[in-house]
Amino acid sequence: MTAVDARPETMAALRFPAGFRWGTATAAYQIEGAAAEGGRTPSIWDTFSRTPGKVRNGDTGDIAADHLHRMPDDVALMRDLGVTDYRFSVSWPRVQPTGRGPAAERGLDFYRRLVDELLAAGIRPVATLYHWDLPQELEDAGGWPERDTAHRFTEYTALVAGALGDRVATWTTLNEPWCGAFLGYGNGVHAPGRTSHPAALRAAHHFNLAHGGATRVLRDRLPSTAEISLTLNLHALRPLTDSPADRDAVRRIDAVGNRIFLDPVFHGRLPEDLVEDTAPVTDWSFVRDGDLEIVSAPLDSLGINYYSPSVVSAGGSGSPSPSPSPWAGAEERVAFAPAAGPRTAMGWPVDADGLYELLTRLRDELPGLPLLVTENGAAYDDYADPSGQVHDPERVAYLAAHLSAVHRAIEDGVDVRGYFLWSLLDNFEWAQGYSKRFGIVHVDFASQRRTVKDSARWYADVIARGGLTRP
């Protein structure tokens, strides 16, 4: 076959449906900075990042990408890229500093201005109410393992809904409660850095309860057209072999990694096998009558954050789950096998099939529920060269492969309504501090200069054409 003959195949366009939402995503603590302005009080991440040894290089979100002061310019960047939607999170300690009582109007004003700026730029705001920045005062009162934190969250939700409900059409209650519960309270890699399996499981339930309570509040206070959603970082799991033991290892991790949220939220029940697997750790008596009814309030869509899959075995090969493990003891005898192939700067395997597998699973398990890919992207060690350019071909390849997987899923009947690229800006990557760059816009943290990377130009082109060429 000649090169000319090959062109139609290599150039075939992958077109997305009309109205597909092309977004970017960020989170408050990772970009805003201004940690002590306008009455904002410390969150668990302010405390954690100040605790020696917890965050790489001792980095904190004190200044981050200084977005609070540069917001109009950052919105203009998105407008120039042509994004249709922007997913941001609201900082709880900025709008309700002690986690109780009245709102700090100056904090809410920032989000009012952000939403106005977005709407003026023709960009749909997508608000996430919780992306990990619990007010420290609430952690001091017991944090997510305590039931009252869920009640505090519904109160806070009412404040934000009152301020933004007339202009924000899409709402996400929680971002990645698995990380909040199991990295925050299970293995302590994230704030608040506690290491207790029972606390992690209690936190997971209270996240579910907070989500359900907030959903009720949003339904009561928002126009009936509002879209209410939840974002989960579902784990794409594969057994190392087809042996019953390896398949059972997948079942265990699926229970404590995925179904711990999916079953209560979408089916109003706890996974029975999870309750059995975790019996040595807890009797689940913190789940009270009526809780699961609150948790399972109907949703309009589900957000999925996907980066890479995991290969799971019953042990013997691969590395055992690290100690302390985030999996609350349910991972007994489970090992994680090293994946082949390229990895990002996070060390995460590049494997777009995992996204396709997750999306088609959800099509089958939750028929009729619209899906959004609310995060996907990659960190690479990119830098501005002397001519001021940032060339990031690996990120372009990663994004192209994953968007192709989304396209394939849509072709196979999955109702995916949008894709939010993580992230608009280089930012504070939690325990990795500023050492990992996920942005399609480079940030020089010393000068706060923004430089549009090649990947941002590529994404703008994808958006303009409503699709991409087959990679």
Instruction: Say if CB 405 and CB 464 are below 8 A apart.
Output: no
Task: Name which of 45 and 459 has its Cβ closer to ligand IFM.
Answer: 45
Measured at the CA of 162, the angle between CA 161 and CA 164, to 5 degrees, comes to: 65
Q: Which of 117, 139, 146, 375 is catalytic?
A: 375
Task: Name which of 133 and 277 has its Cβ closer to ligand IFM.
Answer: 133
Q: Residues with Cβ < 8 Å from 4, sequence gap 6 or more? A: none
* Strands (E) located in 293-384: 301-305, 310-313, 319-320, 335-337, 371-376
Q: How far is the CB of 270 from ligand IFM (least distance, A)?
A: 25
User: Which residue in 209, 153, 127, 144 sits closest to 180, CA to CA?
Assistant: 144
Q: How far is the CB of 29 from ligand IFM (least distance, A)?
A: 9
Residue closest to ligand IFM (Cβ)? 27
Q: Which residue has the tokens 């009561």?
A: 220
Q: How far is the CB of 317 from ligand IFM (least distance, A)?
A: 27
User: Which residue in 219, 296, 267 sits closest to 366, CA to CA?
Assistant: 267
Running DSSP on this structure, what letter comes out for residue 322? Answer: P
Task: Name which of 264 and 303 has its Cβ closer to ligand IFM.
Answer: 303
Task: Name which of 263 and 375 has its Cβ closer to ligand IFM.
Answer: 375
Q: How far is the CB of 319 from ligand IFM (least distance, A)?
A: 20
Task: Name which of 92 and 438 has its Cβ closer to ligand IFM.
Answer: 438
Angle, helices 147-164 vs 197-221, to 10°: value is 30
**Residue 176 annotated in active site:** yes
Question: SS3 of 249, please?
Answer: helix
Sites of contact with ligand IFM (CB under 6 A) = 27, 30, 176, 305, 375, 422, 429, 438
Q: How far is the CB of 46 from ligand IFM (least distance, A)?
A: 16
Q: How far is the CB of 346 from ligand IFM (least distance, A)?
A: 7
Q: Which of 32, 117, 146, 176 is catalytic?
A: 176
Task: Name which of 422 and 458 has its Cβ closer to ligand IFM.
Answer: 422
**Residue 375 annotated in active site:** yes
User: Which residue in 190, 180, 288 sits closest to 230, CA to CA?
Assistant: 180
**How far apart, in Å, are the Cα atoms of 136 and each of 82, 177, 256, 338, 391?**
37, 17, 27, 37, 40
Catalytic residues: 176, 375
